[in-house]
Amino acid sequence: MVLTKLFRVNISNPDVSVLSEVCRDVLDGKIVVFPTETVYGLGASIYRSDALRRIFIAKNRPMDNPLIVHISKKEHLYEVAVDVSSNILKLIDVAWPGPLTLILKKSSSVPLEATAGLSTVAVRMPAHPVAEILINCTGPIAAPSANISGRPSPVTSHHILVDMFGRADMIVDAGDTIFGIESTIVDISTEPPRLLRPGAMPIEKIVEILGIDVIVTEVAKGYIEAEEAIAPGMKYRHYAPKTPLILVEGDVDNVIEVIKNIKKGMRIAILTCSENAEYYHRYVDKVVVLGSKKNLFEVARNLFIVLREIDRMGIDIAISEGFPEKGIGLAIMNRLRKASTKIIKSLHRTYS
């Protein structure tokens, strides 16, 4: 058990003196939970291998699952990566700071613990004032999400306290995150670029900036796991509640058919869009609305909150509808597929 120091800061007006104290401790080898616009991260200085190893212990994270290096200015990029091409610069000039992680060739200064021994490094520049102030002081910070491995990523104050109090040296609490889902990860060290994990930045936006296609693999869609984790979210089960979750990729009739086939007496919750909620009340014990199909950012923002709440609902099994795989919808479906214990696909999917 670690004696955790808790700092609460205002996202609109962060207390620089508080963050200076946190900075000193990070430089001294401590690990910190800190906010970003996507989810909370559990970070350490990339120049403290001892602290990086403690991140894996605190999360129960496999050592072959690389971290993301968080930077706050372009100069940091050249500290941690090499062969930064004009294509890369074109992308980051538009997309950074923001919820986009790029896989690049790593520099010799990045320790093996941050990259799981790979020759590449995952890098992003968060669009969050607290993260920016902190990283300006500490230099690059390597961090995965601040949750116990396999569980939904933390997006609220409650989540980080439940998962990391007594595990991290410090927690910087700035309230709920903005997007509620992790960054998009693109391997731009290959030609053509590959989407490794969909996230808060839609792949369509990245294609528009680059002016070239980006390969979307079955791993990125969430159907299969990668044999080797080049980036977070590619290998191992993620985002999962303890309660069994069935994902039905079909229309309302398909979902109702699945519900009817579940063993009598089992308490059931349905995760649905607001447009379909009325159809389920007579069939289940609890109807949980994630948001509207017309506003998938709302659905994404609520997803991890609901996946955590499932275990406190007093139900035996949860069922989720599918959502349109456009924009951030691809990230929503990736997370639902990885969180599910079973996926049922219909030949007649109608999400739009």
Asked if residue 65 belongs to a known ligand binding site, the reply is yes
How does strand 184-187 pair with strand 194-197?
antiparallel
13, 76, 199, 317, 334 from 55: Cα distances, Å = 28, 21, 23, 32, 25
Locate 20 and state its tokens.
Answer: 């200076």
Are the C-beta atoms of 320 and 246 separated by less than 8 Å? yes
Asked if residue 145 belongs to a known ligand binding site, the reply is yes
3, 119, 213, 215 from 191: Cα distances, Å = 47, 17, 10, 10
Asked if residue 177 belongs to a known ligand binding site, the reply is no
Asked if residue 197 belongs to a known ligand binding site, the reply is yes
Q: Where are the alpha helices (DSSP H) in the chain?
A: 16-27, 49-59, 74-80, 86-95, 112-115, 129-138, 157-164, 203-210, 218-221, 252-260, 296-309, 329-339
Q: What's the half-sphere exposure (Cβ side, CA atoms, 13 Å) at 343? A: 15
Which residues are within 8 A (CB) of 216 and not within 5 positions of it... i.e. 6 or more apart?
195, 198, 203, 330
Asked if residue 24 belongs to a known ligand binding site, the reply is no
Query: How far apart, in whole angstroms, are the C-alpha atoms of residue 352 and residue 349?
Result: 9
Asked if residue 153 belongs to a known ligand binding site, the reply is yes
Asked if residue 143 belongs to a known ligand binding site, the reply is yes
Q: Tokens 């009598």 sit at which residue?
A: 264
Asked if residue 124 belongs to a known ligand binding site, the reply is yes
Question: Which has the closest alpha carbon to 315: 340, 292, 288?
Answer: 288
Asked if residue 36 belongs to a known ligand binding site, the reply is no
Query: How far apart, in whole angstroms, are the C-alpha atoms of residue 181 and residue 152?
Result: 10
Q: What is the largest CA-CA distance in the chain?
A: 61
How does strand 32-34 pair with strand 170-173?
parallel
Binding residue ranges? 38, 61, 65, 70, 120, 124, 143, 145, 153, 183, 197, 239
Binding residue ranges for L-threonine? 38, 70, 124, 143, 183
Binding residue ranges for ATP? 61, 65, 120, 145, 153, 197, 239
